[in-house]
Amino acid sequence: MNEMLLKGHPCFDKEAAGHIARVHLPVAPKCNIQCKYCSRKYDCINEGRPGVSSAVLSPAQATLYLEKISQVVKPGVVGIAGPGDAFAEPEKTLETLDRCRRLFPEMLFCLSTNGLNAPDYVDAVASLGVTHVTVTINALDPRVATSIYSWVRCKKRNYRGLDAAEILLERQIETVRRLKERGLIVKINTLLIPGINEGEIPSVARKACELGCDLMNIIPLIPVKGTEFADLKEPSCKIVEEMRSSAGTYIRQSRHCKRCRADAAGLLGDDMRQEISELLRDAAN
């Protein structure tokens, strides 16, 4: 079952990436944590990285957009990957899934999240037919995590420092545990941040394996202007490969992630920004 589902999703299976298209619906602009590498832009066509989108849509607009873009790219998978976190405003994510599922019952649905607010919604998303979830976990040691996250907002309270790191980590693990209990396919994304979390990669991989996760995706940091990590260097391919090999002793590694935008559509690696942008803006107006 899991193997079959893995093979139907281009981000979870390299072979599927050559012929199955995905559509991201940018309905989640807000975030409940601040990663020191993140800068989100909602009206940007120039950058090709996570966190950017040409527009942000309401659930109703997203449905309309999905109908239009489906005529262009024939997607097999629909996902919510920001530009913020899918569970910062969970009601929007759930409504979008519900609307799109009714329209396209045959498609696979996926989400990505930092995991903080996700434990309470695992049953809901599973019931709405989501089969694949990506949880980003960048460190297991809370002291290391304090260097990666500026703050965390959980259940209407703000946290910083070790408190923030401990709450985030505990809830990330709980999210993964519940997702696996519900039988979903889980990928762990880990940003490789030079000088900050190299030492954490094997521990995250080991934990992901213990929790029964299906795949790990080690993503080299993109240093973005205006963020606290703007002056770090992007890790070399050699270092990324070394990290993947060491983590690969615990859990299967993804090696084909394209670090896509929050409004990406088409086959992985296709650059359809212009067409997407026009359709998104039509749907948003």
List residues binding ligand SF4 (CB under 6 A): 11, 22, 31, 33-35, 38, 51, 81-82, 84-85, 114, 257-260, 264, 268
DSSP one-letter code for 124: H
- Min CB(1)–ligand SF4 separation in Å: 21
Strands 21-24 and 33-35, bridge-based pairing:
unpaired
Neighbours of 28 (CB within 10 A): 27
Among all chains, which residue has been given the structure tokens 């489906």? 70
Beta strands in 17-123 (DSSP E): 21-24, 33-35, 75-80, 108-113
- Min CB(114)–ligand SF4 separation in Å: 4
- Min CB(100)–ligand SF4 separation in Å: 17
For ligand SF4, the closer of residues 84 and 90 by Cβ is 84
For ligand SF4, the closer of residues 38 and 173 by Cβ is 38
Helix (H, G, I), strand (E, B) or coil at 284: helix
For ligand SF4, the closer of residues 23 and 211 by Cβ is 23
For ligand SF4, the closer of residues 108 and 260 by Cβ is 260
As a whole number of angstroms, the distance between CA 254 and CA 208 comes to: 14
- Min CB(189)–ligand SF4 separation in Å: 7
Distance of CA 180 to the CA centre of its chain: 17
- Min CB(37)–ligand SF4 separation in Å: 7
For ligand SF4, the closer of residues 59 and 115 by Cβ is 115
Dihedral sign of CA atoms 2, 221, 248, 205 in order: negative
